[in-house]
Structure 1
Amino acid sequence: MTKDRKLDHIQLAFDSQTGFAEQDQRFIYEPMLAAHPNDEENSFLFLGKMIRAPFWVSSMTGGTGVAEKINKNIAQACREFGFGMGLGSCRKILFDKTHWADFDMRDTIGPDQPLWANLGIAQIEKLLQEKNEKAIIDLVGGLRADGLIVHVNPLQEWFQPEGDHIERPPLETITHLMERIHIPLIVKEVGQGMGEDSLKRLLELPLAAIEFAAYGGTNFSNLELMREDPATQEMYQPFAFVGQTAYQMVKTVNRLLQQMGEPRCRQLIISGGVKSYLDGYHLTSLSQLPAVYGMASAVLKHATGDYRELQTYLKNQLKAFRLAQQYLKLNPEYDGT
């Protein structure tokens, strides 16, 4: 009732006041130029498939007791809402199919959404040394995946008590892999992002996409360091605060495009520290390359239980994203501070 609503307004007026310190300086709010969003979806081509939302569920889990349920919930959501999924590290199922069901998501996600397998650079390096690239081909083919994500994680491997020793620069291994097999590749970091030189070299390769996994989100190097003994933690802890944010990386890629012209890799997955739909909208709008955004930990939080919880979360995220598209423009004076 109108009377009740007006009473609510009086009671909430003081609590709803906003301060200048909380103002989101990334955007200019333009209320005069658009109607409310409708339910129409704006599909676009990404990774060779039509997706209905600029969203990506970044690689997370597999080979644990609850992984199959989590991945099935995520794959079902990707199918319903029309976005892509990167599997967690598939190392466990390279030569042992015990946990295959945790990763075998093609039937759940359907044929039309991107589904990508995932292996670490250390495993790729070892398989190439053994001239066993067939194991990679069989993995991607067996999962009916669209390609392979290579996660580059030198700090994680160094800090991990059971970690592998990386013998060659990852770029050399990736280049070697592309010479030996013809499978689409995405290259990503694992929570600290990449600097300008690394990004430039990757943009020069015919990759399907680069995923940032930038500083500010789940940091797998720091995660492994937390499993170490106290003396080792104390020695290496400063590395936990090294890296590049997603905003810094988008700005770096945009600057590199001005310098190098047309890159061979022309798609980005912006992840790492993306906490909300406004972060995703800001970063994908800022990018001069076609981009989607990923929110791994937020999705994982809602994917462990009943599917309806994840469904509701993603429905609300996408509804709010479309509202941002209607009314928010990038502030050209924003400098990241």
Structure 2
Amino acid sequence: MNRDRKHDHIQLAFDSQTSKFEQDRRFIYEPMLAGHPNGEDRSFAFLGKTMKAPMWVSSMTGGTEKANHINKNIARACREFGLGMGLGSCRKILFSKTYWDDFNMRDIIGPDQPFWANLGIAQIEQLLKDKNENAITNMVGELRADGLIIHVNPMQEWFQPEGEHIENPPVETIEELLSRINVPLIVKEVGLGMGRESLNRLIHLNLEAIEFAAYGGTNFSKLELMRDEPEKMEMYQPFTFVGQTANQMVNTVNQLLQTTGTSTCKQLIISGGIKNYLDGYYLVSKSELPAIFGMASQVLKHATGDYQDLKTFIENQITAYRFAQNFLKIDPEYDGE
């Protein structure tokens, strides 16, 4: 057995050659400063709750055939591993209980983990226009959610065949909502991220967090175009290549903090194009604001089937993240994508 292992090592030594072109230049490897992770408690406060790992799961579904199964799997995993969960759009349950069970996950995720409802900016605008903001308060309360995520999606609404017209600048709608209800808010985009001026306005609002949903992950504007006529797809396709990456947005927020010195917004959820734990670790480490990283589509792939598949995926992500914490430091001289 030992001779076989040594023989394997000889062959694998040839097969495992690397080159400088494969090097991940985001990190400096520091092998002298820590031991292997040993399961120590690394809990921390975020969104008023205690999280055991810096990972946020943004669910993208509700009111569909598999939504109940997917959301239950995600809520169960968040409880087991101490993560936070954001629901998909809760529009379907604002005034109807038909799909309520697809969203009603508090008993599964438990009382101790962050659990947030979700509505689009177009729905918020209409509710404020109708002076019916109590519908938001009632929904969040009945879900026993910790607050409301507002997804801001003017490009998606414009491209969506069933899309709604947004009349006012979204930041003004958010400011009005803050003045009219006492519900904690998170604001996010839906796959294109946000530029400097938008981020500058948001970090000076009384928000619990900004979620990036940056360019590089699931692009819901592109998704809507793909549902439409080919002629419309051809016309608007150039817009699907517009947006800000998570790395660009972290840099922008850091620069804004250095310029202004303050931020009313308390935290960041860095999502959009986060393919694995190293992407998340790099961006969380360089953020000047307290931050966690978010994954949606990567988790969704594993949440549609058996729970064990999702459990294994998340457990591996967290274990590898903790290993990175022990041995990798970000390289301050690296500024590439």
One fold, TM greater than 0.5? yes
Corresponding residue number in structure 1 for 2:298: 298
| Contact 1:37–1:322 (8 Å) recurs in 2 | yes
Instruction: After superposing the two structures, state which structure 1 stretch, 2-11 or 52-61, moved more.
Output: 2-11
Corresponding residue number in structure 2 for 1:254: 254
User: Per the alignment, in what secondary structure is the counterpart of residue 226 of structure 1?
Assistant: helix
Q: Trace 1:97-108 onto structure 2 (pairs within 5 A).
A: 97-108=97-108
Give aligned-pair identity as a percent. Answer: 72
Whole-Å separation in 2 of the counterparts to 1:266 and 1:114? 15
Offset of residue 3 of structure 1: 2.3
Whole-Å separation in 2 of the counterparts to 1:3 and 1:266? 57
User: Per the alignment, in what secondary structure is the counterpart of residue 80 of structure 1?
Assistant: helix
Offset of residue 2 of structure 1: 2.8
Q: Trace 1:268-307 onto structure 2 (pairs within 5 A).
A: 268-307=268-307
| Contact 1:56–1:293 (8 Å) recurs in 2 | yes
Offset of residue 59 of structure 1: 3.4
User: Per the alignment, in what secondary structure is the counterpart of residue 117 of structure 1?
Assistant: strand
Question: Is 1:46 aligned with 2:41?
Answer: no
User: Per the alignment, in what secondary structure is the counterpart of residue 182 of structure 1?
Assistant: coil
Q: Trace 1:20-31 onto structure 2 (pairs within 5 A).
A: 20-31=20-31
Corresponding residue number in structure 1 for 2:83: 83
| Contact 2:57–2:299 (8 Å) recurs in 1 | yes
Query: Counterpart of 2:150 in structure 1: which amino acid?
Result: V
Question: Is 1:241 aligned with 2:241?
Answer: yes
Offset of residue 10 of structure 1: 1.5
Whole-Å separation in 2 of the counterparts to 1:20 and 1:280? 23
Offset of residue 134 of structure 1: 1.2
- Normalised by the size of structure 1, how large is the TM-score? 0.99
Offset of residue 230 of structure 1: 1.0
**Superposed structure 1 runs of 4+ greater than 4 Å apart:** none
Whole-Å separation in 2 of the counterparts to 1:143 and 1:40? 33
Corresponding residue number in structure 1 for 2:165: 165
Deviation digits for residues 89-141 of structure 1, max 9, x if unmatched? 00011111111000000000000000000000000000110011111111101
Q: Trace 1:1-337 onto structure 2 (pairs within 5 A).
A: 1-337=1-337
CA-atom RMSD, angstroms?
A: 0.8
Whole-Å separation in 2 of the counterparts to 1:5 and 1:330? 35
Whole-Å separation in 1 of the counterparts to 2:39 and 2:8? 30
| Contact 1:205–1:264 (8 Å) recurs in 2 | yes
Query: Counterpart of 1:157 in structure 2: which amino acid?
Result: E
Offset of residue 38 of structure 1: 0.8
Whole-Å separation in 1 of the counterparts to 2:322 and 2:307? 23
Whole-Å separation in 1 of the counterparts to 2:148 and 2:263? 20
Query: Counterpart of 2:110 in structure 1: which amino acid?
Result: G
| Contact 1:116–1:146 (8 Å) recurs in 2 | yes
Whole-Å separation in 1 of the counterparts to 2:59 and 2:257? 27
Whole-Å separation in 2 of the counterparts to 1:332 and 1:301? 34
| Contact 2:59–2:71 (8 Å) recurs in 1 | no
| Contact 1:41–1:53 (8 Å) recurs in 2 | no
Whole-Å separation in 2 of the counterparts to 1:5 and 1:135? 65
Whole-Å separation in 2 of the counterparts to 1:35 and 1:3? 30
| Contact 1:62–1:89 (8 Å) recurs in 2 | yes
User: Per the alignment, in what secondary structure is the counterpart of residue 71 of structure 2?
Assistant: helix
Deviation digits for residues 213-268 of structure 1, max 9, x if unmatched? 00000010110011111111111000000000000000000000011112100200
Whole-Å separation in 2 of the counterparts to 1:183 and 1:266? 15
Whole-Å separation in 2 of the counterparts to 1:278 and 1:118? 28
Offset of residue 33 of structure 1: 1.2
Query: Counterpart of 1:205 in structure 2: which amino acid?
Result: L
